[in-house]
Amino acid sequence: MKVEYLIAEIGSTTTVVTAFNFSNGVEVVGQGKGFTSVLEGDVTIGLRNAIKEIEDSLGEYLEYGRMIATSSAAGGLKITVHGLVEDMTVKAAREAALGAGGIIKNVTAGRLRRTDLKKIKAINPNLIMIAGGTDYGERETALDNAELISAADFNIPVVYCGNIANQDEIKEIFEDKELYVIDNVYPKVDELNVEPARAIIQDAFEKNIVRAGGMDKIKEMVDGAIMPTPGAVMEATKLLYEMLGDVMVLDVGGATTDVHSVTDGSIEVLDILITPEPKAKRTVEGDIGVYVNRENVISLLNDYELEGKTREEIEGYIKPIPATEEERHWSRVLTQKAVNVAVDRHVGYIKRVFGSGRKFSAYGKDLSMVKYIVGTGGALTRLGEGEELLEDIKDVKGDITMRPTKEAKVLIDNMYIMACAGVLSRENKKAAVELLKASLGLN
């Protein structure tokens, strides 16, 4: 059988491959999975096993026109970020890295010290980001950090996204190394410019993922785009914004819970916002997951949520793939908690300021204009009651708020293809749109 696309999601433990045709609407031909084989030194073993599972279910050999992929294997996209001021250039560079699908392993503000360089070496990141200074403002910190990183000879790609007045000197400092020079992520005070950095980070990832252990043979099978999986989900979220308007996506997994949002927020909140926020924002709760990090989530349950059970009893019900209704119930309880905690950390807050009359100040991301709340990831798409779990994050009081309001509609990624749609949008946007419509029930 011939299919147009195979789209692979290469996770840290499982590789899932889905076969698609788009000639006459969206046709999911089949889906197969295999254990990710990075530790065996060859990721294509897991890919071939996943494809064989599709072939076994179809009862025939599979031919494909093109194969594209997302990956969080081999440690994902590990990034260290080095800027000038924590609340300004460091924050901007960090937002860019997270939005591109990065896993932030180390963040520094100011001039790097010897201990910082030791930490970078121990982390062995996929990418180093250097920021610092508004355009034509402070120059020395970014230049000093560039000199130190270059002298350390890490043999790691560097993205420079700081003061544009430094660009020529930066190119000289890294003249014999892999360097990406782009527009400043913080060109003016209270102005973020993160999209150029996000795009170049994903390009650098695609170029360098083949160097990661076990991934060096991936191009034997994947002849199209390769993106970090969280970055692909962000691309799908931005595509949904073009289709539907202001949107947020929650991805609850076994180890982490990610929240993606694309919205400018309300004019009322923007007028009292203390520091700027990116239109497209991603937060990663690395301690909140419903299996690998289940102990952390269970520890957060209150007496009402425990339903008379002990925490040890609840942990006994949590399985990687829940089989009984009681196992599914307690996985849903943990999913609800993960959703609430992740949204609390993603959304901003409004604070009353007393002085000459009463006024308000806003801090963080405003979600009050979100029209659609989308659930993806295994917990929200496969346990059941995903819509009900997401309804709980709305603010229904009607007061000034930064949370989604009761008017926001909940959608579920029923086919679990957000990451697939994100990487597909890089080369076939029309097909990606149709895929999202089919999965979210928008047809």
> Would you give the end-to-end CA distance of the chain in angstroms?
27
Strands 2-10 and 63-71: parallel
Let me know whether 128 and 267 are in one domain: no
Domain of residue 175, residue span: 77-211
Last residue of a domain, which of 153, 179, 211? 211
- The closest of 318, 352, 351, 316 to 334, measured between CA atoms, is 318
How far apart are alpha carbons 399 and 390 in whole angstroms? Answer: 20
Is residue 345 located within the same domain as residue 412?
A: yes
Tokens for 254?
């076994």
- CA 276 to chain centroid: 20
Question: Same domain, yes or no, for 380 and 246?
Answer: yes
Q: Is 65 in the same domain as 133? A: no
Does one domain contain both 103 and 198? yes
289 with 373, same domain? yes
Q: What is the pLDDT along the chain (443 residues), one digit of tens a residue?
A: 899 999 998 887 788 899 999 888 888 899 898 888 887 888 899 999 999 999 999 999 999 999 999 988 766 788 999 999 988 889 999 899 888 888 899 999 999 999 999 999 999 998 999 999 999 999 999 999 999 999 999 999 999 999 999 999 999 999 999 999 999 999 998 888 898 998 898 888 888 777 777 788 888 899 888 898 889 999 999 999 999 999 999 999 888 899 999 999 998 888 888 888 899 999 988 888 888 889 999 999 999 999 989 999 999 998 888 889 999 999 999 999 999 999 999 999 888 777 656 688 888 999 999 999 999 988 898 888 889 999 989 987 766 778 999 999 999 999 888 999 999 998 889 999 999 999 999 97
Rounded to whole angstroms, how far apart are CA atoms 387 and 25?
Answer: 26
- Range list of H helices, 138-179: 140-152, 167-173
Residues 99, 201: Cα–Cα separation, whole Å? 10
Question: Do 314 and 391 lie in a common domain?
Answer: yes
Q: Are residues 394 and 317 in the same domain?
A: yes
Q: Could you give the count of Cα atoms lying within 13 Å of 356 in the half-sphere of its Cβ?
A: 0
Total domains in the chain come to: 3
Residue 7 vs residues 108, 109, 264: alpha-carbon distances, Å: 37, 39, 32
Cα dihedral 213→217→218→224 (10° resolution): 130
**Whole-number Å distance between alpha carbons of 393 and 386:** 12
Phi/psi zone of residue 114: left (φ > 0), alpha (ψ -120 to 50 degrees), beta?
A: alpha
Q: Which of 224, 254, 278 is the last residue of a domain?
A: 224
CA distance 170 to 168: 5
Regarding whether 275 and 296 lie in a shared domain, the answer is: yes
**What is the reported pTM?**
0.86
Q: Rounded distance, CA 171 to CA 159, Å? A: 11
The residue among 183, 211, 239 that closes a domain is: 211
Are 290 and 328 in the same domain?
yes
